[in-house]
Structure formats: C-alpha cells, structure tokens
Amino acid sequence: MSPSPQFLGRSMFDLDTYSPEEIMYILEAAKGMKEINLREYKKIPTLRGKTVCTLFIENSTRTRMSFELAANRLSADVVSFQASISALQKGESLQDTVYTLDAMGIDLYCIRHSSPGSPQLVNKYSGKPVINGGDGRHAHPTQALLDIYSIWEKLGDLKGLKITIVGDILNSRVVRSNLIAMQKLGAKVTVCGPKTLMPGNMESVYGCKVEYDLARALQDADVVMGLRMQLERMSEGLFPSLEEYSKHYVLSKDTLKYAKRHALIMHPGPMNRGIEILPEIADGSQSIIVEQVANGVAIRMALMFLILGGKA
Amino acid sequence: MKILIKNAKVYQNNKLIKADILIDRKRIAKIAPKLNEKADKIIDASDACVFPGFIDLHAHLRDPGHTYKEDIVTGTKAAAHGGYTAICAMPNTEPVTDNIASVEYIQLRAKELGSSRVYVIGAITKKSAGEEISEMATMKSGGIVAVSDDGKCVQNARLMLSCMRYASNFDIPVIIHAEDYNLAGKGQIHGGKISTQIGLSGIPGLAEEVIIARDIMLAESAGAKLHIAHISTAKSLELVRNAKAKGLPVTCEVTPHHLVLNEEACATFNTNTKMKPPLRSEADRLACVKALKEGLIDCIATDHAPHADFEKEKEFDYAPFGIIGLETAFPVLYKNLVITNQISLACLVNALTSAPAQVLGLPGGEICEGAPADITIINLAKETLFSEQNLLSKSKNTPWLNHSLPGRVMVTICNGNLTYQDSEIE
C-alpha cells in the first residue's frame, strides 16, 4: 500500500470535508494496521524519523494512549504535552505553546482540547498537519472512524443500516462526527435522549431522526450506541437524577428487545455501568465495546501513515 | 479658520444637492451653488458627497485602564477616519466611569487631544457591578448624556427599577445591554444552527428578549427613557414595536455587523466574529434590516470594541467578545445594504447622523447654515483597504480586516477643524 496523495500533509479536523471514498480508503488502510496489531511483534518501521506530538490540553488518558501507541507502532518518535503539568497552567497561550513545540521539529500534532476550533489554530500556528482528538462539543473524527470501522467489520456496508445513538446528544462531539460520517455512508441515524440534552434543531441541521422515547428510537435498530452521561449535567439543571435518567434511557435487555435481535451494541467509553448501560448488555454477546478500543489504535495508525506518507 | 468646499454633492433634506460650503471657524457659514469666498483651505470635492458628521452612540475607548487596546487619541482618530464627528464613550473603563472625576477625565482628554467630540455615558450602577445606584445626577451635572452598564446587564429587577426611577428623576436616558446571564450561560455564539453544528455553546435570542421585555415594563412603570443597545433578534424588535405603539419613550440601535453578517460567519472559528450579542440567524438579520428601513430601529451604532491581537488570537472560547467598527461602519453598510438596494442612501445616512442625535438630544446631525461645522466628505466610488496599516484604531479586530470597501472617507471636519484627511487631498 502506498500513501495516497489526498491524505498527505492533510489535517483532519472533522469528517465533513472527507468523501465517502476517502473514508472507506482510511478504513481499508486500518484493516492492514489491525493485522499488524495482532502480530507478536507489533511494530513496523514506516514512520522512523518522524515526530508525533500528542497535545492534550484537556485530559484523556485513553485517547492519548491510543494515539501514542499508534505512533509507536509505526516507529515514529512521540512526545506528549499535557496541560495539567505544562506551561499553559502558568498562563502561556496556545499560540506560544505551539511555536515552542514547533521549534523542536514536530511533524504531526494530535490534539485534544475543550474549546471547539482549537485544532485549526494549532494547524495555523504550526503549518503542520493536525489530527483532531476531540475539540469540545464539536468533533471527534477518529472516534467516528473507529466506530464506523467496527460496524463495517461486523456488518459490512453501512448503507441502509439503522443506527440509534442514545444519551447526552447536546454535549457529544462523538455524535456530531458520527452523524456526518455515518450519513455520508448511507446509514439512517436516529438520536435519542431527553429534550434538555438535545439541541432543538438536530433534524434540520443534520437531517437525522430525533426521538425522545427510547423504545421508539430503538425500533428495528441494527446498531445501538450509548453515550456517557455526565454527572455535571445535573447541576446544570438538565436532568433531575441518574436514577430517573436511567429509568427512561438505559440500554438493557428489556429496552433492547425493540432493536433487531443481533443488533450491535457500542459505547465510546468510559461507561457508567448501571446508568446508561447495564452490565448484561455491555458485556453481552452483541457488545463490541472492547473491540472499538482496539480498532481505535488501528484507525489512528492508518491516519498517521497516510498523513505522514509512510512507506509500506 | 475658513474652509471652502467646492463642487460637492451636499446631503440636505434626504437629498444630494450640488453646492459649495463655507465653513467659518466652528460653524457652517454659507451653503450656495457657487461660493468664491477667500478661505484658508479650499477642498475640491468633485466626485464626493458631503454628509453631516456621523454620530455614534456606542463606542468603547478603553481609556482609562485598557489603553493597550485603544485610547482617547486613537479611538477618536479612528472615528474621524470613519467619518464620525461625535462618539459616545461607554463607561466600562478601568476604573469604571461611575463618578464625576472619571467623566471629567475623559472629557478633558478628548477636548485636548481628541479628533472628535466625545460624549460620556456614565455607569448605571457603581463599578457596573449591578448592586448600587451610581451617582448619576452628579455625573449628569458633569455632562454625561446617558447611563449604561454596557457589557454588563443589571440582573436584579428590583434594583433596575430603582435605577430607572432615579434616572427619570434627573431626566437621564438609560441604555441597556440586554442579556440574561443565566440564559446566556457560557454561550459563545448565537444558539442556533451553527452552534449545533460546531459545538460552541449558544447564546439564545431569549437571553436578550426576556431582558428587553422586562426593561420595557420597568421603564414604563418608572417613567424612564429607555434606549436598547445593539438589538439583534426579530422577537426583540417585536417587543420594541409594541412599546412604541403604546407611545413609550423606547428607542433602539443596531450595529453594522448585525445588519450584514449572520451566525454562518462564526463557522470558521474566526474570533473576529465573536461579540455580544452574537451574530444571529439570517431571519433575525433580515428582520433588523427591515426594521431599520421602517424606522422601527432608530439608529445605527458601532459598538466599537477594540481588543489586542494577543487577546483575540486564542481559542474561540477564550477570546474576548467584541469587534472594532468606527472605521468600517459606513463602507460596510454602503456596500452591503445600499449598493444592493436593500436600504436607501438616505436611510443609511440618517441612521448615522440625525437619528442618533435625536435619540440622546445631541447637537449636529444635519448640514445647514449656522449648524456646527461637523461634516464628512466621502467618495462613494472609491474604495478603502482596511489593512492593519490603514486602520487607525490601536486594535485590528474586525471581520473586514484586509477587505477593500467602497465609500472612502476623504475628509472629516469636526467643530471646524480638519480631523481626517486622505493622503490624496492636498
């Protein structure tokens, strides 16, 4: 496999600027990477001499590890910048931080930030390609890619599949990127959650289906994705209690009877067992939650390979 | 000093009339088809129009306290470059303009060093903290033309009622920045299509509308004169329409950016599209244009809000709200609304001159013999490139940075003094 020119040096901010063919191309590349990850010696020399920086202004151990493992397995050098132990706490601006890092010779940035649009800034300041590892409520394209990869691996083509995403739609970057990409690939997406956690204009903005009732949302679903419910939404006055939320929106054997019999169960993690998903479902035979994590490394390897022009 | 302006198209009674103008010291002395008086300076204004000097009810001069963003010298230079001869300075300085000493400082500095008239607006509450009434009567004796806590909004309705009653006692207009803090939350842009798409927190129109509804009711009860700053939604306009229909002394202003841009401008995370109130939906924008045309919106105000590069060059969530507007107001509106036939030139000019003068009872706003010599000469066909270098404001935070726009200010004269002159004018 040789690096494809449409990816070389190109930042990934979100999936809106990627064609269905390009998305499929990334998935195909990830398939090859997954095979490497299953070997005893999980490393190829393709990005030797390249330097990848994980720039995590918002903490996330899992995603950062996934990016770093991906870079390591391609033999790139990896440096890690974490806001909690860095100069940003001393008041250094993102601009100055990037100038400093850039002076050290970074080839690719993987950024996580609480503020939407920050990956674009890193790209602007550094002139280097950037992979968005999650920017506020905006986008999380590598998560969407790994979700789609996981579905594609099990069910093949997404065209015509009914995918239902349940939970805090308002605050989820995972939903936004998934909606864009899944619909591009022909899936029919329904989003479901309480009205207080749902933007009022989801249908008109995304052309997806909106349901407030879980049973109706799950009807005939091929894929069901739960989202993490965050406690702080309670203090924001958006829902009264985890118990009440759970009563209406938990993924359980009981509620999943509306979905197709072999519907895939997904969750971007970390899970609140017993709140948005019951263990019987999270650990059940239809769950691919753990595989999602494994596929995440493969997807990120594929992207780094394509963007940095790795040699096969 | 005598200045003779030759061959101009002079804006009088909503029309452009070919005439010469003689300015003698601080007044417009003569207007006639042909004048051959001796003068210290003769300006050939063929191809240009002479308008009354623009009047801005809403500018942030940042002086004292934030003079790295702007000061009275640069702010009024920017005003003159934009054709303005009078601007009102909002009180969110450091310290807040909530006392007579601060009022006098601004007036004195402007008089000594300024390139335009500066009227001072005092704070409604001490430090604009929304807790205690400021000494507004004393400030009025010192010359303030209105009170406002602009940038902030008095959340406590009981206190606001009291402030309005007190202001009406001394016949001081109250200007409100309508924003319910809880509804606005951590909002960064309009709560609508783009906020849903790009995940920036939204400021719903409701945050503005509930305060406007509240303050119209409070002002009615208090007998206060209410002016609503930077109105931005269709529903807010409906509230004003009802208030005016009732005969209440309620007026409102709109900014150039709310007339020309909508929320879509924020989609690329350009922090020069971040301001309060936020750029609204296209339907809201169209409602503002229509309301301006109908006279429901009284006037245009810039909300000139300078911020330094290092402040705006940040993550969208961390960048401050506000854009500069004094220099671009006329060209932006002329290009986007007049040339495209959405409003007439007269509608635009009145909203920048006689209308704001009327809202706060300020002098100027028209060209006639005996009027103050406050005018601006504009070549409608010529463009100005708003590069960092050409902008006279200390800050460059405008979405029209590096845009070239028609309606170039050639000369501005304020109180008989030349305050701006294009390099082409001798």
- Give the helix, strand, coil percentages of chain B, each rounded to 5: 35, 25, 40
Residue A91 DSSP symbol: T
CB-based burial, A170-201: b 16+ in 10 Å, e otherwise: bbbbbbbbbbbbbbbbebbbbbbbbeebbbee
Nearest CB partner across the interface for A117, out of B195, B313, B316: B316
- The residue count of chain A comes to 312
Q: What is the mean pLDDT of chain B?
A: 97
pLDDT at B401 over 60: yes
pLDDT, position A85:
63
At CA B307, angle to CA B302 and CA B313, rounded to 5? Answer: 125
**Where exactly does CATH 3.20.20.140 map onto chain B?**
53-360
Inter-chain contact A95–B315, Cβ cutoff 8 Å? no
Contact A189, A163 (CB under 8 A): yes
Q: How many domains does chain A have?
A: 2
- pLDDT of A183 over the 90 cut: yes
Q: Does residue B217 have a pLDDT over 70? A: yes
Name the residue among A231, A226, A188 with its Cα closest to residue A210: A188
DSSP notation for B269-322: --GGG--SSPP--HHHHHHHHHHHHHTSS-EE---B----HHHHSS-GGGSPS-
Burial (CB count within 10 angstroms: exposed 0-12, middle 13-18, buried 19+), residue B267: middle
Amino acid letter, B362: L
Instruction: Please answer yes or no on whether B314 and A176 come within 8 Å at the CB atom.
Output: no
The string over A264-296, giving b where at least 16 C-beta atoms fall within 10 Å of a residue's C-beta and e elsewhere, is bbbbbbebbeebbbbeebbeeebbbbebbbebb
A119 within a domain of the structure (yes/no):
yes
Domain boundaries, position A198: 141-289
Interface A-B: count of C-beta contacts within 8 A: 55
Residue B15 sits at the chain A interface (C-beta within 8 Å): no
**Hey, CA dihedral for B175, B180, B185, B188, is it positive or negative?**
negative
From residue A55, how far is each of A7, A94, A106, A136, A225 by CA, in Å? 21, 10, 11, 14, 28
The residue of chain A nearest to residue B185, with distances taken between CA atoms, is A236
Give, as one character, the DSSP assignment of residue B393: S
Contact A201 B193 (CB under 8 A): yes
Pairing of strands B375-385, B404-414: antiparallel
| Cβ atoms B277, B191 nearer than 8 A | no
Inter-chain touch A93–B314, beta carbons under 8 Å: yes
Percent share of chain B, pLDDT over 70: 100
Q: Smallest CA–CA separation between B189 and chain A, in Å?
A: 12
What's the rounded mean pLDDT across residues B74-99? Answer: 98
Confidence of residue B184 (pLDDT cuts 50, 70, 90): very high
Half-sphere exposure (CA, 13 Å, Cβ side) for B189?
Answer: 31
Work out the average pLDDT over B173-195: 98
Catalytic annotation on B303? Answer: yes
pTM listed for this prediction: 0.95
Find, among B43, B347, B199, the residue nearest to A116 by Cα. B199
Residues of B in contact with A95 (CB under 8 A): 310, 313-314
Instruction: Look at B199 and A204 and tell me if their CB atoms are within 8 Å.
Output: no
Instruction: Give, in order, the Cα–Cα distances in Å from A165 to each of A172, A182, A281, A302, B320.
Output: 11, 11, 15, 26, 35
Residue A111 lies in a domain: yes
pLDDT at A311: 63
Query: What whole-number distance in Å separates Cα of residue B54 and Cα of residue B376?
Result: 8
Rounded Cα gap, residues B276 and B272, in angstroms: 12
Q: What is the mean pLDDT of residues B46-56?
A: 97
* Alpha-carbon gap: A208 to the closest alpha carbon of chain B (Å): 13
Determine whether the interchain pair B315/A113 forms a contact, defined as Cβ–Cβ distance below 8 Å: yes
**Which one of A13, A16, A112, A137 makes the best mutation probe of the B interface by having the most chain B beta carbons within 10 Å?**
A137
Give me the residue from B192, B198, B314 closest to A138, CB to CB: B198
Chain A residues with CB under 8 Å of B317 CB are 114-116, 136
- B318–A138 C-beta distance less than 8 A: no
Same domain, A162 and A135: no
Claim to verify: residue A157 and residue A285 sit in the same structural domain: yes
d(CA A188, CA A185): 9
* Contacts B200 to A, Cβ<8 Å: 116-117, 136-138
Using a CB–CB cutoff of 8 Å, tell me whether B318 touches chain A. Answer: yes
The pLDDT of residue A3: 54
The residues near A79 (Cβ < 8 Å, ≥ 6 apart) are A51, A52, A53, A54, A101, A104, A106
Between residues B274 and A86, the one the model is more confident about: B274
Nearest to B6 by CA among B51, B46, B52: B46
What percent of chain A has a predicted confidence (pLDDT) above 90?
Answer: 88
pLDDT of residue A2: 52
| Same domain for A285 and A242 | yes
| A-chain residue closest to B267, CA distance | A117
Residues in A lying within 8 Å of B, measured between beta carbons = 93-95, 113-118, 120-121, 135-139, 173, 176, 199, 201-202, 204-205
CATH assignment at residue A53? 3.40.50.1370
Asked if A114's CB is within 8 angstroms of B200's CB, the reply is no
Cross-chain Cβ contact B199/A121 below 8 Å? no
Answer yes or no: is A224 within a domain: yes
* pLDDT at residue number A232: 77
Most A CBs within 10 Å, among B269, B272, B282, to test the A interface: B269
Residue B314 contacts A, CB cutoff 8 Å: yes
Structure confidence by residue, pLDDT tens digits, B120-134: 999 999 999 999 999
What is the per-residue pLDDT for A92?
84
In this structure, the answer to whether residues A134 and A145 fall within a common structural domain is no
Q: B42: which 2 tokens?
A: 């003769």
> Buried b vs exposed e over B275-287: b needs ≥16 C-beta within 10 Å?
bbbbbbbeebbeb
Interchain CB distance below 8 Å, A116 and B317:
yes
Least confident of A74-88, B93-107, B346-360: A74-88
Token pair belonging to B296: 């429901």
Looking at beta carbons, which residues of chain A come within 8 Å of B198?
A: 116-117, 138
Domain shared by A227 and A126, yes or no:
no
Best residue of A140, A201, A204 to probe chain B, by most B CBs closer than 10 Å:
A201
Which of B269, B310, B314 comes nearest A120 by C-beta? B269
Domain B53-360, what fold? TIM Barrel (3.20.20)
B170 shares contact with chain A (CB less than 8 Å):
no
A229 shares a domain with A271: yes
User: DSSP letters along A257-275, please?
Assistant: TTS-TT-EEE--S---BTT
Q: Quick check: A115 and B193 CB within 8 A?
A: no
Tell me: pLDDT of A312 over 60: no
For B28-60, give one letter per residue: b (16+ CB within 10 A) or e. bbbbeeebeeebebebebeebbbbbbbbbbbbb
B310 reaches A (C-beta below 8 A) = yes
Annotated catalytic residue: which of B71, B180, B303, B374? B303
> Residue A79 and residue B25: Cα distance in Å, rounded?
69
Q: Is residue A42 part of a domain?
A: yes
In a domain, A247, yes or no: yes
Contact at 8 Å (CB) between B14 and B53? Answer: no
Which among B195, B201, B269 has CB closest to A117? B269
**Nearest CA distance, B311 vs chain A (angstrom):** 10
Same domain, A134 and A107: yes
Q: In this structure, are A146 and A285 located in the same domain?
A: yes
Structure token pair of residue B143: 């010359």
Residues from chain B that touch A207, judged by Cβ atoms under 8 A, are: none
Nearest CB partner across the interface for A116, out of B199, B310, B314? B199
Q: Is residue B322's pLDDT more than 80?
A: yes
Q: Where in chain B is the domain with CATH 2.30.40.10?
A: 2-49+374-382+404-421
**Fold assignment, B2-49+374-382+404-421:** Urease, subunit C; domain 1 (2.30.40)
**Which of B186, B198, B201, B311 should one mutate to test binding to chain A, selecting the residue with the greatest count of A CBs within 10 A?**
B198
DSSP secondary-structure letter at A5?
T
DSSP string, A157-204: --TT-EEEEES--TT-HHHHHHHHHHHHTT-EEEEE--GGGS-TTHHH
Locate B40 and state its tokens: 């210290």
Chain A residue nearest residue B268, CA to CA: A117
In a domain, A255, yes or no: yes
Q: Do A121 and B193 touch (CB under 8 A)?
A: no
Give the DSSP H or E segment for B211: helix B205-222
Report yes or no on A6 lying in a domain.
no
pLDDT, tens digit, for every residue of A121-171?
A: 999 999 999 999 999 999 999 999 999 999 999 999 999 999 999 999 999
User: Above 70 in pLDDT, residue A1?
Assistant: no
- Which residues in A lie closer than 8 A to residue B201 (C-beta atoms)? 137
Express each pLDDT in A49-92 by its tens digit: 999 999 999 888 899 999 999 999 999 999 999 877 666 666 78
Q: What percent of chain B has pLDDT over 90?
A: 99
Residue in B288, B303, B330, B325 with CA at minimum distance from that of residue B54: B330
Residues A279 and A153 in one domain: yes
Asked if residue A234 is part of any domain, the answer here is yes
Contact B200 A113 (CB under 8 A): no
CA distance B273 to B266: 6
pLDDT of the residue at A234: 79
**pLDDT (0 to 100) of residue A90:** 67
Q: In whole angstroms, what is the distance from residue A59 CA to residue A86 CA?
A: 12
Measured CA to CA, the distance from residue A145 to residue A29 in angstroms comes to: 12
Pairwise CB contact (< 8 Å): B199 & A135: yes
| Beta strands, E only, A29-177 | 51-56, 77-82, 108-113, 130-135, 162-166
Which residues are CB-contacts of B389 (< 8 A; sequence separation ≥ 6)? none
- Cβ <8 Å between A137 and B199: yes
The answer to whether A176 contacts B313, with C-beta atoms less than 8 Å apart, is: no
Contact B278, B222 (CB under 8 A): no
Please give the distance of CA A262 from its chain centroid, rounded to a whole number.
23
Q: pLDDT digit string (tens) for B137-160? A: 999 999 999 999 999 999 999 999
Q: List the single best residue of A92, A93, A130, A183 to mutate versus B (max B Cβ within 10 A).
A: A93
